[in-house]
Structure 1
Amino acid sequence: MPAAAIVTIEDDDPVVSEYDVFITPDLEQQLYILQYMNRPPEQPFTEAMRSRPSEVRIKEESGFIEVDVPLNIHQNYNRRTGVKWGEAVRKTKGLGQKAYGIAAGFEKVMPRANNRPGAGSEAPPVQTADEDDNIDEYVANFEDANEKGHVLNTQTWGGQIIKGETGKPNYMVGTFKENELHLTKLGGIVQLRTQFNHLNAVEQLDVIRRKREKESQEGAKPAEPRAFLPTVKRNAGDTSAEVTQQFMKAASAEKWSKLRFYDEDLDTSFGAYEDRLFLKDAPQAAKLHASMNNAQFLDAISAPSTDKHGKKKPAPKRHNHPVIDISDSSDDEPASNKSESQKDTTQGPS
């Protein structure tokens, strides 16, 4: 290629800035990126936008995270529907339902029937939202009903942590400080989507209603003694269905752990940002060195080639290509002073 053409290409793609890259040490606490799907970036969940999350909870073993965000119940809000949904969530939680959907292993808590001899009267039946006679009263006294927990006033976002796997790329988050780029390894990424826990609660109450109607027609089956048959339980299988079933049971049994949320404009958030996402004493950081030369790197990233018979071609003979020196000190050395067999592989601070 003519020299003039090379100059033209370089001018079309100039280097606009250069950064020294640093890698921070692993954090004691996990660092996750929460991505709110279908949420415009100009509408973050912050105090300034009047949408600061009211609660964040996590199931560390199964990897589920949920974020409750306040709803504006005074604008474009159907009060009657909000009361029905709020009552459904309140009643199912009163039965002992701690989570909904996949985070609960799709399990539903049913009310216990007192049909044992001498157990006394049964607990009052649970009413569905349509059967509740207090709906009109809650709508008429909406503000009071909201304070007492009868109104759905939060929107729940949920997702599962996508963690790094061996042999696959590791994600990192980068922060800039002047001409420095600091990279911190992520514990995982969570894609949060709106959860329909209120609809799951409505469906759960409907299942309870149908079960109650069936028992009223056929009569509740009294508890009877059962024969005990000893069996040998085999080890859990490793099929996909069995693994999924075990995971669902574990997710249902695991309890939520609540996290403390700090708004992005608080001094605590800025302090954590400076303390955890930047390498301290960057000028004294150890420098990284390449472990392979150019030919070895190309061989490592290239797909294996085969001949027309499908057999793998022998690897080409490697030549001792010189290692390119990209250290900071090389910029100050004249090109004539460099040896073609130079082995310095220092890349500068990383």
Structure 2
Amino acid sequence: MSSSEEDPVVASYDVFLTDSEISRYVFQYLDRNVDLPYNESNHQRPVQLRMKPRTGLVEVEVPLSTRANYDVNKGLRYGEAIKKSRSARDGGAYGMAGGFTAGSGAAASGGRVKMEAGGDVEILENKRVVDSNALMRTQALAGRIKPAEEGDPVYMLAAFKDNNLHLSPVSSVIQFQPQLHHLDALDEMPKAKGSRAKKDDEERPAETEARAIDIKVKAAEDGEAATNAGNLDLLKQMQEEKWKQYEWIDAETEDAWWTYESFMLHENTDQLPSLEAKMDSEEYLDRMSAPRIDPARPDLTGWAMKENRQRQRAAQGHGGNDQ
């Protein structure tokens, strides 16, 4: 029995490549079950997507369920902290240690999200009635767009239509993890009170005393110093760049399907140019695999082995039928 009969071809598709200039990102939620996506049907459609394109920071604001497994006392405490924190007044305690403020947009307590009971008050599972605006109702998930480097794998999104396979290159895979912006906001509250007390003390006249300060700096290794300088520069860029706000479109809406069909599929496939390979099968194997070794001539590898085999085939062609 031939190998083709043992492993028959069951389907054949024409392959098309879509526009590579379009940015396409794959979001991975590391602590989220694949059967529970963040969408409208699960009552957890993200209320906001924000990005810092130049430095690659990405955050998604997702609603929290306040009807089950929710500590109301802590929800009120964190919600109040977020509302009163300096970062929240500047637009939201976004980013590392609350330092990457948004400048504008909804606070981390979540702007207005879909109410579970309707109205301005919410009746929780324990029949407790609370002001819904006072609860911490959303949580931020954050990730970063990793700049592409030589040797990185190239991922594709595949879409089937009839007998055609459409491949779209992925710009980046972003892994999201929960952020603790509510703890940052809670941390800022005593600092704000302390700063007011400090200001009162500064208003009182006090005698100043000149004092010499001896500063000693330990020299770091060149490589470590360069890394630290690069990290500090990146941190400064992250803090200075402003967030860009985007509306989240649920996957099952007409707008989402229109985007899918517009940017993931080709409509007029007959008018597309054909790709032509610039290497034969053996060169492709050499590029994709480790150097091959000819058992008859172990000293010949890679291109030398290929040229030797080509000479053998040429000699066989002149001497009779190929074996």
TM-score (norm 2): 0.70
Pick closer, same or farther for the CA change 1:300–1:212 going to 2, 3 Å. same
Pick closer, same or farther for the CA change 1:314–1:287 going to 2, 3 Å. closer
CA distance in 1, matches of 2:132, 2:146: 36
Give the superposed CA RMSD: 3.7
Paired residues of 1:105 and 1:249 also in contact (CA < 8 A):
no
Pick closer, same or farther for the CA change 1:53–1:191 going to 2, 3 Å. same
**What SS does the corresponding residue of 2:266 show, helix, strand or coil?**
coil
Structure 1 residue 285, shift from structure 2 partner: 1.9
User: Please, which of 267, 287, 297 is the counterpart of residue 254 of structure 2?
Assistant: 267
1:280 corresponds to 2:273 = no
Pick closer, same or farther for the CA change 1:193–1:256 going to 2, 3 Å. same
Pick closer, same or farther for the CA change 1:251–1:65 going to 2, 3 Å. same
Paired residues of 1:163 and 1:187 also in contact (CA < 8 A):
no
What does the per-residue CA deviation read over 1:252-271, in whole Å, with 9 as the maximum and x for residues that have no partner?
11111110111112111111
User: Please, which of 143, 153, 164 is the counterpart of residue 148 of structure 2?
Assistant: 164
Q: How does 1:330-345 map to 2 (within 5 A)?
A: none
CA distance in 2, matches of 1:182, 1:103: 42
CA distance in 2, matches of 1:106, 1:272: 31
Give the aligned partner of residue 71 of structure 2: 78
User: Please, which of 12, 15, 20 is the counterpart of residue 9 of structure 2?
Assistant: 15
What does the per-residue CA deviation read over 1:5-55, in whole Å, with 9 as the maximum and x for residues that have no partner?
xx3x5455333322111001234x522111112211111111111111111
What does the per-residue CA deviation read over 1:226-279, in whole Å, with 9 as the maximum and x for residues that have no partner?
9xxxxxxxxxx9811111101111111111111011111211111111111012
CA distance in 2, matches of 1:251, 1:212: 28
Give the aligned partner of residue 246 of structure 1: 233
CA distance in 2, matches of 1:282, 1:313: 42
User: Please, which of 23, 27, 51 is the counterpart of residue 34 of structure 1?
Assistant: 27
Paired residues of 1:37 and 1:191 also in contact (CA < 8 A):
yes
Structure 1 residue 212, shift from structure 2 partner: 6.3
Give the aligned partner of residue 50 of structure 1: 43
User: Please, which of 177, 186, 203 is the counterpart of residue 170 of structure 2?
Assistant: 186
Give the aligned partner of residue 198 of structure 1: 182
1:91 corresponds to 2:84 = yes
**What SS does the corresponding residue of 2:96 show, helix, strand or coil?**
helix
Give, as a single letter, the amino acid of the residue that structure 2 aligns with 1:18. Answer: S
CA distance in 2, matches of 1:13, 1:34: 36
Pick closer, same or farther for the CA change 1:88–1:165 going to 2, 3 Å. same
1:316 corresponds to 2:316 = no
Pick closer, same or farther for the CA change 1:67–1:142 going to 2, 3 Å. farther
Paired residues of 2:46 and 2:60 also in contact (CA < 8 A):
yes
CA distance in 2, matches of 1:105, 1:247: 13
Q: Which moved more, 1:77-86 or 1:287-296?
A: 287-296
What does the per-residue CA deviation read over 1:161-182, in whole Å, with 9 as the maximum and x for residues that have no partner?
1343344332221111121110
Give the aligned partner of residue 113 of structure 2: none
In structure 1, list runs of 5 or more residues that go unmatched. Answer: 108-138, 227-236, 307-311, 323-339, 341-350
Structure 1 residue 300, shift from structure 2 partner: 2.7
**What SS does the corresponding residue of 2:68 show, helix, strand or coil?**
coil
Identity of aligned residues (%): 28
Q: Which moved more, 1:262-271 or 1:312-321?
A: 312-321
Pick closer, same or farther for the CA change 1:220–1:153 going to 2, 3 Å. same
Give the aligned partner of residue 152 of structure 1: 136
CA distance in 1, matches of 2:280, 2:160: 30
CA distance in 1, matches of 2:53, 2:97: 12
Paired residues of 1:100 and 1:200 also in contact (CA < 8 A):
no
Pick closer, same or farther for the CA change 1:301–1:269 going to 2, 3 Å. closer
CA distance in 1, matches of 2:95, 2:276: 49
Pick closer, same or farther for the CA change 1:38–1:94 going to 2, 3 Å. closer
Pick closer, same or farther for the CA change 1:105–1:250 going to 2, 3 Å. farther
TM-score (norm 1): 0.65
Pick closer, same or farther for the CA change 1:193–1:294 going to 2, 3 Å. same
Pick closer, same or farther for the CA change 1:295–1:142 going to 2, 3 Å. same
